[in-house]
Structure 1
Amino acid sequence: MLDDSIKAQLAAYFERITQPITLIASLDDSEGAQQIRELVTEVAAVAPAKISARFDGSFERRPSFQITRVGHDMGVHFAAVPMGHEFTSLLLALLWAGGHPPKVEPEVLEQIKGLDGDFAFDTWMSLTCHNCPDVVQAMHLMAVFNPRVRAVAIDGGLFQQEVEDRQIMAVPSVFLNGAPFGNGRMEVAEILAKIDTGAAKREAAKLNERAPYEVLIIGGGPAGAAAAVYAARKGIRTGIVAERFGGQTMDTLGIENYPSVLETEGPKFAAGLEAQVRHYGVDIITLQRVAKIDPAGEAGGQATVTLENGAQLKARSVILATGARWRNMNVPGEAEYRTKGVAYCPHCDGPLFKGKDVAVIGGGNSGVEAAIDLAGVVKSVTLLEFADQLKADQVLVDKLKSMPNVTIHVNAQTTEVVGDGQKMNGLKWKDRVTGDEHSPALAGVFVQIGLVPNTEFLKGTVELSRFGEIIIDAKCHTSVPGIFAAGDVTTVPYKQIVIAAGEGSKAALSAFDHLIRTPAPAAA
């Protein structure tokens, strides 16, 4: 299962293990169990002095294996053969259990150790999901450092009947103590904020003590990251506040058009952005949403940025780089069946629909690429485009039309997502030319119809276009002095990573120009 190259790499990593660990497999007679036996045997053989293997496990979920430190009972479990995207999760779990310190802030570890309660997490994932490893790793990190946390990473492909029984139609999907906990990418700090009562109040108190910023950037995508780098290099106090670092790139599988980068994956690109921003000493505040902005009001004054947790941050200038999110269809049933058949990430959730009939809404590049991707996994794909022709690049359209299990309908208006109350089982759409209505039976629908700017909190603060985008000039000025904007959230055309990064750099330069031409507030 592991070739010589991988074994050599593992041997180098296992040099960091300082405390012996044991892999305990709980098996049955399934094919998955045989694969787990092979994997556990080969991993242990790489470093027999540090890693031992047993096959007498009594864990209730089979097939699975536990990773634990000798003399302990760590709640780290894989009900999976963690290859593909999850191989890194396996490696990190082994290192952490073996005493190698994780790359997290000390206060995060202290918060994990201080959790009061018993927490049993089941994380349903797929090996092709690029969002799943972050969640799996966060759960396992907590299980290593707190004996009252149990974390099981479950491959839906090995437990398909449970997937059906639990109505799991999107990954990652997390259950806590048997009840639904959350869906989609989650960082460890976000998980802790949900289970650690009082965490929000403590965090707000800490943020209120932050010193004022020269530049405060709202948003951590390519525009926000570029703005932070350019501002920090000017030697001024710079901060970023964002829900998560990386923005939409965290949900992008492949990036192949960024200058000097031949190809990379979105999460890897986002990690590079964050590393560069941290290199320049920028104060990064994540897992926070901004509720409102009160502009400075006078030259030399300070804007007040109020967060949803009540904390307030002060800044002489503000750069808005909040990006955009997937556009919803806004039809009956969409919200009701979100993660129950209605999906937005074909790379993450496509494997859950193996052998089933699905639809893709949208005939642009994203929609056509999604249909091509899904066609290799599902039974059939029906692509619905509202306009009279597909808008994707011709090379993609030609590829799509060559696939035998894809049906294309243009002039198709989606009118409703239908289901049985538990999960989606069909879709209604109307031919805009003939008026004919159609109701195909479908297991899932992937929505790929563009983006919506994240500007709801800015209404009445800065001037917005009729599409909700922030109106800016050539130098990223908004309608309010001292407030700048960059990236997908603005009226700048072509929502691309490279354009967002360039606009973020421009916004930072404009903010610096504003600062040097504006008197600083008098010292208290």
Structure 2
Amino acid sequence: MLDANLKTQLQAYLEKVTQPFEIVASLDDSDKSRELSGLLHDIVSLTDKITLREDGRDARQPSFALNRPNGTISLRFAGLPMGHEFTSLVLALLQVGGHPSKLSAELIEQIQQVEGQFNFETYFSLSCQNCPDVVQALNLMAVLNPNIRHVAIDGALFQAEVEARQIMSVPSIYLNGELFGQGRMGVEEILAKIDTRSTGRDAEKLKAKAAFDVLMIGGGPAGAAAAIYAARKGIRTGVAAERFGGQVLDTMAIENFISVQETEGPKLARALEEHVKQYDVDIMNLQRASALIPASHAGGLHEVRFESGASLKAKTLILATGARWREMNVPGEQQYRGKGVAYCPHCDGPLFKGKRVAVIGGGNSGVEAAIDLAGIVAHVTLIEFDSQLRADAVLQNKLNSLSNVTIIKSALTTEVLGDGQKVTALVYQDRHSDQLITVELQGIFVQIGLLPNSDWLKGVVELSPRGEIIVDAKGGTNIPGIFAAGDVTTVPYKQIVIAVGEGAKAALSAFDHLIRS
């Protein structure tokens, strides 16, 4: 199952296992069960700390549980955790085997003190770059607290469950049989939802913090670069972010970040965070900004308030809140979001295997999505508002070579139709004839660009007609001491490498402002 190179790497990791445990597999006579058996035999052949039994009786087959002799852990994989989930498997083996996690002592204690019974189920796809964060977070929580149980389920392998629960977006997380959440979630966010007392405690802790010399709002490439450059100046630096990594976390292949030939968004986001942590930077996650109160006088403190009830003050601010997927804003879109309307083809594409879908948007992201989906689904209809596609020629050539793709130009999507549970069709208007045309399908992937995350700044910081923060050559806004960087600004070309440079520039400008004022 595993090639020689992967076995060598895995054996090195498994040397960190200190506490013996067993793998209990539940198998049937399917090809996937035979593949899983081969994978598990490869694993146990690499260490004497792990044993294997194949007499499990779990209803989900193939699946396997990782069990300690004292029976204090309930952690299971249903399916073959390869692809993006192979790292989740390796981490689970290490953590069940006694290797400590990198979580802070405070977070570990909070997990261990959570009371109640929490039976989590996570549906993932092997091509989903968002899913491992959820799987790894819940696996670790199951290792640390016997009240927390977790099973990670390959949605493409257990189609009957996916159909029964009407799952059309991954990761989808269920708690005690009820939908708990969809999309990327980390340990802190999951804890905040199951330990409701933590939000208030955390807000009070943030309010009590001393003022920062420079505070980044946003933890994407711009915010991370700004934090590094500021911290290297020896000034008090903080980062308050809704999620560290920002939009990069939702990016699949990255091949144009200079000096890095190829990487993936989540991997780059982790590298950015680890780099920031090399410096004395106070990172505050799960903080979504809601209001900005500029300093009332020169030399005063700017204040940022957050939806959690927390607030922070700083001598200078760098606004780097990035952007989000642009929505169609048509009837039915919100009703069927996660029920056929999706924004991440890499994550949710496998759930539409053999079905008919549409991609909205003819730019690079839309055409790339259509190409990827064409290899999974029965048919793709690409709908573009303009009279021509805007994607690079090489992508258009590839798209035109695919037999199961229909391209419709000069079309305005007007409505998403469904049966109350899931998407059944899409309606578009032919811009030449004004005729309304219905396309029957099961999925719609929206790829029509980005919107700046600047709603909370309206009426305070000067914005462009498109809602972007207007900045000068040094990243300065119309308010002294407040700077901005990245996709939320008017700087053209929304690229990671540009955001990094703009973040560094904003930090240097903030430092210059501090020493001059």
Q: Retained in 1: the 8 A contact 2:27–2:61?
A: yes
Alpha-carbon distance between aligned partners in 1 of 2:239 and 2:442, rounded to the nearest angstrom:
41
Alpha-carbon distance between aligned partners in 2 of 1:297 and 1:370, rounded to the nearest angstrom:
48
Cα deviation code 1:28-70 (max 9, x no counterpart): 33332222222222211211x2000112223333321100222
Spell out the pairing of 1:32-71 with structure 2 (5 A cutoff). 32-47=32-47, 49-71=48-70
Name the TM-score, length of structure 1 as normaliser.
0.97
Question: For structure 1, which segment, 26-35 or 363-372, has the greater mean C-alpha deviation from structure 2 after superposition?
Answer: 26-35
Alpha-carbon distance between aligned partners in 2 of 1:123 and 1:166, rounded to the nearest angstrom:
12
Determine the structure 2 residue equivalent to 1:21.
21
Alpha-carbon distance between aligned partners in 1 of 2:371 and 2:331, rounded to the nearest angstrom:
27
Alpha-carbon distance between aligned partners in 1 of 2:187 and 2:260, rounded to the nearest angstrom:
29
Determine the structure 2 residue equivalent to 1:227.
226
Listed as ranges, the gaps of 5+ residues in structure 1 are: 519-524
Determine the structure 1 residue equivalent to 2:427.
428
* One-letter amino acid matched to 2:66: I
Cα deviation code 1:339-370 (max 9, x no counterpart): 11001111111111111111000001110111
Alpha-carbon distance between aligned partners in 2 of 1:86 and 1:511, rounded to the nearest angstrom:
41
TM-superposed deviation, 1:165: 0.9
* One-letter amino acid matched to 1:489: V
TM-superposed deviation, 1:250: 0.5
Spell out the pairing of 1:248-397 with structure 2 (5 A cutoff). 248-397=247-396
* One-letter amino acid matched to 1:45: S
Please give the secondary structure, in 1, of the residue aligned with 2:127: coil
Determine the structure 1 residue equivalent to 2:128.
129
Alpha-carbon distance between aligned partners in 2 of 1:410 and 1:62, rounded to the nearest angstrom:
45
Please give the secondary structure, in 2, of the residue aligned with 1:439: strand
TM-superposed deviation, 1:500: 0.9
TM-superposed deviation, 1:106: 1.0
Determine the structure 2 residue equivalent to 1:472.
471
Residue 441 in 1 paired to residue 440 in 2? yes
TM-superposed deviation, 1:461: 1.1
Cα deviation code 1:146-188 (max 9, x no counterpart): 1111100000122111111110001100000000000111011
Question: For structure 1, which segment, 187-196 or 35-44, has the greater mean C-alpha deviation from structure 2 after superposition?
Answer: 35-44
Question: For structure 1, which segment, 187-196 or 1-10, has the greater mean C-alpha deviation from structure 2 after superposition?
Answer: 1-10
Residue 246 in 1 paired to residue 245 in 2? yes
Question: RMSD over aligned Cα, in angstroms?
Answer: 1.0
Alpha-carbon distance between aligned partners in 2 of 1:338 and 1:476, rounded to the nearest angstrom:
36
Determine the structure 2 residue equivalent to 1:5.
5
Q: Retained in 1: the 8 A contact 2:24–2:54?
A: yes
* One-letter amino acid matched to 1:249: V
Distance 1:182 1:331, change over 3 A: same
Cα deviation code 1:450-474 (max 9, x no counterpart): 1010011111111111111111111
Alpha-carbon distance between aligned partners in 1 of 2:99 and 2:230, rounded to the nearest angstrom:
35
Please give the secondary structure, in 2, of the residue aligned with 1:513: helix
Determine the structure 1 residue equivalent to 2:143.
144
* One-letter amino acid matched to 1:390: L
TM-superposed deviation, 1:275: 1.1
Alpha-carbon distance between aligned partners in 2 of 1:440 and 1:307, rounded to the nearest angstrom:
42
Alpha-carbon distance between aligned partners in 2 of 1:380 and 1:158, rounded to the nearest angstrom:
21
Alpha-carbon distance between aligned partners in 2 of 1:503 and 1:45, rounded to the nearest angstrom:
50
Identity %: 63
Question: For structure 1, which segment, 437-446 or 54-63, has the greater mean C-alpha deviation from structure 2 after superposition?
Answer: 54-63
Please give the secondary structure, in 2, of the residue aligned with 1:368: helix
Alpha-carbon distance between aligned partners in 2 of 1:310 and 1:179, rounded to the nearest angstrom:
28
Alpha-carbon distance between aligned partners in 2 of 1:35 and 1:156, rounded to the nearest angstrom:
17
Alpha-carbon distance between aligned partners in 1 of 2:292 and 2:192, rounded to the nearest angstrom:
24
Listed as ranges, the gaps of 5+ residues in structure 2 are: none
Residue 169 in 1 paired to residue 168 in 2? yes
Cα deviation code 1:411-466 (max 9, x no counterpart): 00000010100000110001101112211111101000010100111111111111
TM-superposed deviation, 1:210: 1.2
Alpha-carbon distance between aligned partners in 1 of 2:453 and 2:255, rounded to the nearest angstrom:
26
Q: Retained in 1: the 8 A contact 2:61–2:79?
A: no
Please give the secondary structure, in 2, of the residue aligned with 1:313: strand
